[in-house]
Amino acid sequence: MARCGPFLGRRRGYDAVTAVVFAFLLCLIVPSFRLPRLCFLAFADGSGRRDLRRVILRDEATARLNVLGKISDAEDHLERTFMSPASLRAGNQIHEWMEDAGMRTWNDGMGNVHGRVDGRNPSGKALLIGSHLDTVVDAGIFDGSLGLISAISALKLLNVTGKSSGLERPVEVIAFSDEEGIRFQSTFLGSAAIAGILPPSILNFADRSGATVRDVLMETVGDTSEKNLRELKYDPNSVWGYVEVHIEQGPVLEWRGLPLGIVSGIAGQTRLRVTVRGSQGHAGTVPMSMRQDPMPAAAELIVLLESLCKHPVDFLSFDEYCKDSTIEVLANSLVCTVGEISSWPSASNVIPGRVSFTIDIRAMEDKGREAVIYELSSRMYKTCDRRSVICTIERKHDANAVKCDPELSTRLKLAAQTAMKEMNGGMDQQEVPVLMSGAGHDAMAMSHLTKVGMIFVRCRGGVSHSPEEHVLDDDVWAAGLATLTFLESQIGSPFCVHTM
Return d(Cα 135, Cα 90) in angstroms, integer.
Answer: 11
Task: Kindly give the parts of the chain with pLDDT less than 70.
Answer: 1-50, 318-327, 492-500
Q: What is the pLDDT of residue 30?
A: 42
Of 373, 363, 374, 377, the C-alpha closest to 331 is: 363
Q: Are 442 and 190 in contact (CB under 8 A)?
A: yes
Strand partners, 386: none
158-185 burial code (b ≥16 CB/10 A, e <16):
bbbbbbbbbbbbbbbbbbbbbbbbbbbe
Cα distance between the two ends of the chain: 8
Q: For position 49, what pLDDT does the model report?
A: 66
pTM of the predicted model, to two decimals?
0.81
Q: Rounded to an integer, what distance in angstroms lies between the CA atom of residue 164 and that of residue 72?
A: 33
User: Quick one: pLDDT at residue 47?
Assistant: 55
pLDDT at residue 32, as a whole number: 38
Query: Looking at residue 332, what is its pLDDT?
Result: 79
Side-chain-side CA neighbours of residue 285 (13 Å): 4
Which is it for the CA torsion 200, 170, 164, 103, positive or negative? negative
- Give the pLDDT score at 55: 96
